[in-house]
Amino acid sequence: MFYQLLRNTHSLTAYIVLLTLCFAVVNAGLGWWQKRKYEKKDLRIGLFALIFTHIQVSLGLILYFVTPLFQSWSAMGAGVMKDAYLRKMLVEHPFGIVAVTLVTIGWSLHKKQKTDAAAFKRIFIFYGIGLLLILGVLPWKTWMAAF
């Protein structure tokens, strides 16, 4: 019950994470390219993406220990690595945590910049790499099959 609720929530908030991150990356890329002034709305866009990425990873961390898949570690041990599905869910996908680290670093760095272009650039690069990493480790097949 709790597991299902958590899994569904983690699965739905994933859309918000991808949308807010994409939006923040495109907005920062354009701001940097067009040499635009860094405004309050840019701060909000970056902040929304940061918050949703953090929520997503926090849900993911709890989900990791409540999913029935987790028992595969005690049942199969290193055999988990030989099963493509289990390897994806229990080993590769959790690397999404590195993405949230990158996004957080990008957020703190951008605030320390002296020029608007440098602020946009930090968001573009760090959020961009974080987004690519998330796209790379998403369990696309199970996610799409759920709808």
Binding site residues, ligand HEM, CB under 6 A: 7, 10-11, 14, 17, 53, 56-57, 60-61, 63-64, 67, 69, 89, 93-94, 96-97, 99-100, 134, 138-139, 142-143, 146
Q: How many residues appear in the chain?
A: 147
In the bound state with ligand HEM, the residue whose beta carbon lies nearer, of 30 and 51, is: 51
State the minimum distance, in angstroms, from the CB of residue 36 to ligand HEM. 28
State the minimum distance, in angstroms, from the CB of residue 33 to ligand HEM. 26
In the bound state with ligand HEM, the residue whose beta carbon lies nearer, of 35 and 87, is: 87
CA distance 55 to 133: 17
In the bound state with ligand HEM, the residue whose beta carbon lies nearer, of 21 and 31, is: 21
State the minimum distance, in angstroms, from the CB of residue 59 to ligand HEM. 7
State the minimum distance, in angstroms, from the CB of residue 31 to ligand HEM. 23
Structure tokens that stand for 117 in this block: 């272009």
State the minimum distance, in angstroms, from the CB of residue 95 to ligand HEM. 8
CA distance 75 to 36: 56
Distances (CA, A) of 41 to 4, 12, 60, 64: 36, 25, 29, 35
Exposure class string for 71-88: b at 16+ Cβ within 10 A, else e: ebeeeeeeebeeeeebeb
Instruction: Tell me if 98 sits within 8 A of 129, measured CB to CB.
Output: no
Residue with token string 């949703």: 52
In the bound state with ligand HEM, the residue whose beta carbon lies nearer, of 29 and 139, is: 139
